Copies of this chain bind each other. A is one copy, B any other.
Amino acid sequence: MKIKTIMANCSQEFFDSHSEIRRNMATKDIELLVANIEKGPLSLESPVDEVFAGPYILKEVASAVNEGCDAVVIDCAADPVMRAARHVSSIPVVSAGEASHHAAMMLCDKFSIVTTMAVSVPMFKENIAKYGYSNRVASIRAIELPVLALEDIEKTFQALCKTSEIAIEEDGAEVIVLGCTGMMETRDRLQEYLQIPVVEPLSIGIQYAAAMVNTNLRHSPICYIKASDSTVALIGDL
């Protein structure tokens, strides 16, 4: 099957340096189409960034069917425009953040999300509130490194270790969920260091998208009513 992942930023540099590791996430029988958005923020860290990335994420989602894809994964832990995306797609739309929560809940009672910046935290809180399982979240914490600084993997790893330990000891976290898909290179080492599960959102998002395709499931048309033609036309006008 073919799955399209959509980075929620338009940084060419980020795309160039992170495409390879994404493509390596394809397990047997998955072909990945790694995409980013053509316009918008260089990184998605705040609700304002989400507003500007939004139209271009929808454009990438809408084009996936014609590109022969069986499912789409929004490659961002903050799940930007996830609901709207399902209104414009006839194939499954999984979002990395939401998928990572569901995986974490099957591994423990309470998980913490460790993300990049304090300005990002309310986006996660809002998502968790919308999704309706706040009681399963121990805390949402930031390491205070912006997305584009995650390139320094050693520094990112150290910051994640420190903040995750606080989440475990003070907040009662039993699993750590990475709060940015730009952190994936630290995951194995972090899991080894912390000795508890560390969920990387994009990798589990891809697996869950494949699970949907394998079991012939797609978002409910009653919940996500097909967008009207005039609405879809707005995508064409971008």
Binding site for B on A (CB under 8 A): 27-29, 40-42, 46-52, 54-55, 58, 81, 83-84, 87-88, 94, 98-99, 102-103, 105-110, 118-119, 122, 125-126, 129-136, 168, 174-175, 188, 191, 195-197, 199-200, 203-204, 207-208, 210-212, 214-225, 227-228, 230-232, 234
Decide if B50 touches A84 in the complex (CB within 8 Å): yes
Bound-state CA distance A187–B17 (Å) is 43
Cross-chain contact B109 with A223 (CB below 8 angstroms) = yes
Q: List 21 A-B contacts (CB under 8 A).
A: A28-B29, A41-B231, A46-B228, A47-B83, A48-B88, A49-B234, A51-B81, A83-B126, A87-B119, A98-B106, A102-B102, A103-B211, A107-B217, A108-B219, A108-B220, A108-B224, A130-B130, A168-B222, A196-B221, A197-B219, A204-B215
